[in-house]
Amino acid sequence: MKISSGLFEQARMFTRSVTRLVALKGRCARPHSVGGNGCASFSRGEEGGALIEIALTVPVLLGVLTGICTFGIAYSNQLTLTQAVGTAGQYLAQIRTTSTDPCSDVYTALKNAAPGLDTTKTGFSLTTTMNGTANTGTTCSGKQTELIQGGTVTVYATYPCSLSVYNLSFATSCKLTAKVTEYEY
């Protein structure tokens, strides 16, 4: 109890000294008020100022925070897609002699490397280029003959993203893309 009452007394003394300083500088609204301290009405009208400031700034801060999180999720998806496309390209270069459906194998490798991405979303596309021939889609049965030694394989994928914060869209057609080219030896 002594500590809290001591702090209270110090705060009261500090408040009195500030009030006296303000009264000496002539900044009081009514220097001869009824309260006797010369500045009784100085703080009148400021009693909800902090609440109003908080009410005005919190929505702006929450909007900025939500925007940062939205862009962070999109960036994370971009990194995941890039890593998954690289993994799928390396896998395709390794299985060139054992695959009967290279595009399906690439799609499976991409899905396994990026479990957080929904590859069934509208807007997801996968293009596999083997020896200069592009195959769009998740299957290309019988195209294993295009996987030749010394050739190149390219895996290109697009993934849809949404950059909207509180129904305010920042990009109407946002597409994340990743591409990798692997050389077969």
Amino acid identity, residue 29? A
Under the banding of pLDDT at 50, 70 and 90, the label for residue 37 is: low
Which pLDDT score is estimated for 2? 46
3-state SS class at 178: strand
Under the banding of pLDDT at 50, 70 and 90, the label for residue 23 is: low
Among 117, 109, 104, 115, CA closest to 89? 109
Which pLDDT score is estimated for 96? 72
Query: Using one digit for the tens of pLDDT, what is the confidence trace for 124-173?
Result: 999 988 878 888 888 887 766 667 677 788 899 999 988 887 777 777 77
Which pLDDT score is estimated for 133? 82
Block residue for tokens 């003394």: 13
For the segment 40-51, the average pLDDT, to the nearest whole number, is: 66
133/126 Cα distance (integer angstroms): 14
Pairing state between β 152-165 and 168-183: antiparallel
- Cβ atoms 131, 152 nearer than 8 A: yes
- 10 Å Cβ neighbour count for 87? 18
Which pLDDT score is estimated for 1? 42
Which pLDDT score is estimated for 41? 47
- Whether 31 shows a pLDDT value over 70: the answer reads no
Query: Using one digit for the tens of pLDDT, what is the confidence trace for 71-122?
Result: 999 999 999 999 999 999 988 888 877 778 888 889 999 999 999 898 888 8
End-to-end Cα separation, the chain, in angstroms: 82
Which pLDDT score is estimated for 47? 74
Among 102, 176, 95, CA closest to 137? 102
Under the banding of pLDDT at 50, 70 and 90, the label for residue 25 is: low
Amino acid identity, residue 82? T
